[in-house]
């Protein structure tokens, strides 16, 4: 295809390499995929998505460059959606792995450049290439002392009528020297003021019922956080929670309101995390457990208490969900099943063998 003029836009997630190399790969991959999808869904239709490059989205728009205000509005739209998604995932996460705890530290920057590209068709995909694509990529590595900014090159600014307008951002001129390319001039605006304007998303907690009912407990020679990590991993239920034939789930990362389903021979139990309270001494996890065909609607609470010296106590409680009751004989049966599950979990975790499924 013939070369043509185009505006290149690259939103890039900063902290991606450290995030992946230092945290659990399954959870980090899911989180980053969700963030990249959020970026793509926030892009106006006049931009072509060329590639998703691990931590960045490469897009371009052929023809005359859009006005500076239009570019700013597009980047602010993406930036706001990105941080809203980060905050929602952070609020809903019940996992304590490095990936889930570290998502709120990810950041987003933008590079905008105008130049000449060539479109190369590979199978059913169209890939953009050329020197200006190389320049845009090189600009992702620069000496700006921030990880969240909008960078626009002088070549882009020279081709738009509102280049000198601030449009509510504060711009700083700068330049970088790159081997085999030379000096590239640009202006950049830090996005910290934009981030401050994004409303916080309050964490939603359902109220956990309580009464004077006693629970069932067991002590284990295991760190309490390790026990909690197993409790929130749906697939682990197959190894300690009785005759579970299969487990399916809505999300591969443990989240509030993300349901999973334990399939037994004659019944399927729907489980939905509703609340978690984590401290250095105790973790309380409350989940809805429902079997609609048996009119069973409960809140099952697991309390993992740190006893020190890598010992802990696991206590189960069961309460009726609001608007429902649990017959005494059914509650007694559930608590007996809980006791059996605790013993299985104790044996599993104290065995010293690698766990069948890692969180």
Which residue segment(s) compose the domain that 253 sits in? Answer: 216-350
pLDDT tens digits for range 297-318: 999 999 999 999 999 999 999 9
Q: Is 211 domain-assigned?
A: no
pLDDT, mean of residues 4-19: 90
The mean pLDDT value of the chain amounts to 91
Contact 234, 287 (CB under 8 A): no
Indicate whether 250 and 333 sit together in one domain: yes
Q: Are residues 162 and 231 in the same domain?
A: no
For residue range 138-197, list pLDDT tens digits in order.
Answer: 999 999 999 999 999 999 999 999 999 999 999 999 999 999 899 999 999 999 999 999
CA-closest candidate to residue 191, choices 44, 83, 30? 83
- The whole-model pTM stands at 0.88
Distance (Å, rounded) from C-alpha 231 to C-alpha 350?
A: 15
Task: Please check whether residue 209 lies inside any domain of the structure.
Answer: no
Which CATH number fits the domain that encloses residue 334? 3.30.530.20
Same domain, 173 and 243: no
* 96 and 26 fall within a common domain: yes
Residue 8 buriedness (CB in 10 A; 0-12 / 13-18 / 19+): buried
Residues 168 and 292 both lie in one domain: no
Task: Return the closest-CA partner of residue 215 out of 102, 96, 112, 315.
Answer: 315
Whether 317 is in a domain gets the answer yes
Same domain, 184 and 279: no
Are 260 and 125 found together in one domain?
Answer: no
Domain assignment present for 204: no
Task: List the one residue out of 357, 352, 272, 288 whose CA is nearest residue 320.
Answer: 288
In-domain check, residue 210: no
Q: Identify whether 144 is part of a domain.
A: yes
Residue at 185 is within a domain = yes
| Domain count along the chain | 2
Question: Could you give the maximum distance between any two Cα atoms of the chain, in Å?
Answer: 79
CATH code (residue 61):
3.30.70.1230
| 356 pLDDT more than 70 | no
Residue 38 confidence (pLDDT) above 80: yes
In a domain, 282, yes or no: yes
Instruction: Kindly state whether residues 18 and 158 are assigned to the same domain.
Output: yes
The last residue of one of the domains, among 196, 228, 255, is 196
Whether residue 145 is found in the same domain as residue 182: yes
Percent over 90 (pLDDT), the chain = 74
265-290 per-position pLDDT tens digit: 889 999 999 999 999 999 999 999 99
- Across 57-83, average pLDDT: 97
Residue 336: its pLDDT value, please?
Answer: 94
Determine contact, residues 326/320, Cβ cutoff 8 Å.
yes
127 and 236, same domain (yes or no): no
Looking at the structure, tell me whether residues 132 and 9 fall in a common domain: yes
Categorize the per-residue pLDDT at 75 as very low, low, confident or very high, splitting at 50, 70 and 90: very high
- Residue 189 shares a structural domain with residue 238: no
| Cβ-proximal residues to 224 (8 Å cutoff; 6+ apart), any chain | 282, 283, 304, 305, 306, 307, 312
Looking up tokens 């970026």, which residue turns up?
39
């Amino acid at each position: 295809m013939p070369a043509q003029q185009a505006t290149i836009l690259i939103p890039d997630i900063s902290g991606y390499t450290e995030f992946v190399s230092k945290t659990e790969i399954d959870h980090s991959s899911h989180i980053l995929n969700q963030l990249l999808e959020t970026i793509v869904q926030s892009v106006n239709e006049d931009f072509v998505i060329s590639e998703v490059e691990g931590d960045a989205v490469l897009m371009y728009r052929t023809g005359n460059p859009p006005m500076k205000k239009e570019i700013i509005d597009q980047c602010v739209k993406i930036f706001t959606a990105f941080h809203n998604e980060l905050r929602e995932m952070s609020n809903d996460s019940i996992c304590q792995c490095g990936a889930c705890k570290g998502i709120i530290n990810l950041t987003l920057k933008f590079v905008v450049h105008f130049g000449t590209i060539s479109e190369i068709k590979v199978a059913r995909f169209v890939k953009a290439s050329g020197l200006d694509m190389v320049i845009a990529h090189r600009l992702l590595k620069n000496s700006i002392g921030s990880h969240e900014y909008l960078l626009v090159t002088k070549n882009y600014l020279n081709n738009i009528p509102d280049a000198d307008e601030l449009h509510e951002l504060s711009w700083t001129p700068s330049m970088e020297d790159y081997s085999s390319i030379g000096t590239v001039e640009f202006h950049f605006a830090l996005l910290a003021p934009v981030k401050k304007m994004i409303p916080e998303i309050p964490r939603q907690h359902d109220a956990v019922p309580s009464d004077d009912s006693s629970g069932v407990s067991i002590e284990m020679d295991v760190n309490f956080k390790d026990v909690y990590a197993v409790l929130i991993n749906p697939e682990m239920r197959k190894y300690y929670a009785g005759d579970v034939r299969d487990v399916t789930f809505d999300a591969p990362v443990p989240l509030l309101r993300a349901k999973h389903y334990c399939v037994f021979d004659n019944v399927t139990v729907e489980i939905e995390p509703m609340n978690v309270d984590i401290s250095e001494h105790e973790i309380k996890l409350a989940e809805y457990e429902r079997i609609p065909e048996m009119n069973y609607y409960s809140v099952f609470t697991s309390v993992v208490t740190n006893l020190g010296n890598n010992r802990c106590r696991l206590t189960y409680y069961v309460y009726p969900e609001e608007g429902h009751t649990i017959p005494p004989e059914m509650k007694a049966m559930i608590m007996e099943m809980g006791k059996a599950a605790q013993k299985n979990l104790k044996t599993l975790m104290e065995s010293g063998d690698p766990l069948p499924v890692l969180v």
